[in-house]
Amino acid sequence: MREKVLTSEQLNALKIEIYGNAVAHGFHDEKLTVEHCLGLVLSEIGEAINADRNPNAPTVTEATLEQAQLLADQSIGHVAFVEFFKTNIKGSVIEELADVAIRILDLAGMLGITFQDDLEVDDLVFNTTFPDRLFDFALSLDSLDLEYTDQDDFISCLEDLSSIALHFTHLDLWQVVRLKMVYNKTRPTLNGKKY
C-alpha cells in the first residue's frame, strides 16, 4: 500500500532547512562536487550498517521518538533534548538512515532541485538482509550524478530509503530526520569534523 509521507511543500521546506543548516555550519564554504556529496552519503550508509551490526546500538521505539519530540518542543536551548537524543537515538540504525536522507536533501539543496511531487512510501517486504538492501540502494545513487536537475531521481531515492527504514526499523524516517535536524542545529561548525 502506498502512503503519502511528505507533500512536495513539506519536502521542499525540509530541503531548504537542511541545506541552510549545512551552509550555516560551514559544509558549503567551499564549492563541493556531486561526487563529494555522494561520498558522504555512502559514509552514512556504512554507519547505518555498522549500527545494525552493533549489539549495543540504541533500540529506538515509537515511545522513544515521542519522548524526544516532547523534549524538543519543551526544552529551552534544547539541553534536555540533546542529552536524551545522544543517549537514546544517536548511533541507532534509524538515526543513521536519517543522516543518509539529510545528506541527499543537502545535495538537492546544493543543486537547486525543486520538488514537484509528493513523497510516498510502500510498506514493502524485502527478502534480503539490511546490508544487501543498503548495497542495492547505494548502487542506485549513481542516478543522482547523471541528471543534476531531475527531481524524479531524488524522489525515487528518498522513497526507497523511506521503505527501507520502515521495513527494517518499523519507524517513520521523516520523524527522525526532523529530530536529527533539531540536534544538528546545536552542533559546532562542520559538526566538529574536517568536512
Structure confidence at residue 146 (pLDDT): 59
Whether the Cβ atoms of residue 85 and residue 176 lie closer than 8 Å to each other: no
Count of domains observed in the chain: 1
Domain extent for 123? 2-192
Helix (H) or strand (E) holding 133: helix 130-140
Give per-residue pLDDT as tens, 111-148. 999 999 999 987 777 789 999 999 999 999 988 865 55
Structure confidence at residue 149 (pLDDT): 59
Structure confidence at residue 76 (pLDDT): 73
Beta-carbon contacts of 8 under 8 Å, excluding residues fewer than 6 positions away, are 115, 116, 117, 118, 119
| Full-model pTM | 0.94
What cell does 176 get? 527522525
DSSP characters over 101-128 = HHHHHHHHHHHT----S-EEEE-----S
Beta-strand (E) ranges in 71-172? 119-122
Per-residue pLDDT of the chain (195 residues; tens, 9 = 90+): 678 889 999 999 999 999 999 999 999 999 999 999 999 999 999 999 999 999 999 999 999 999 999 999 986 778 999 999 999 999 999 999 999 999 999 999 999 999 999 999 877 777 899 999 999 999 999 888 655 557 899 999 999 999 999 999 999 999 999 999 999 999 988 887 888
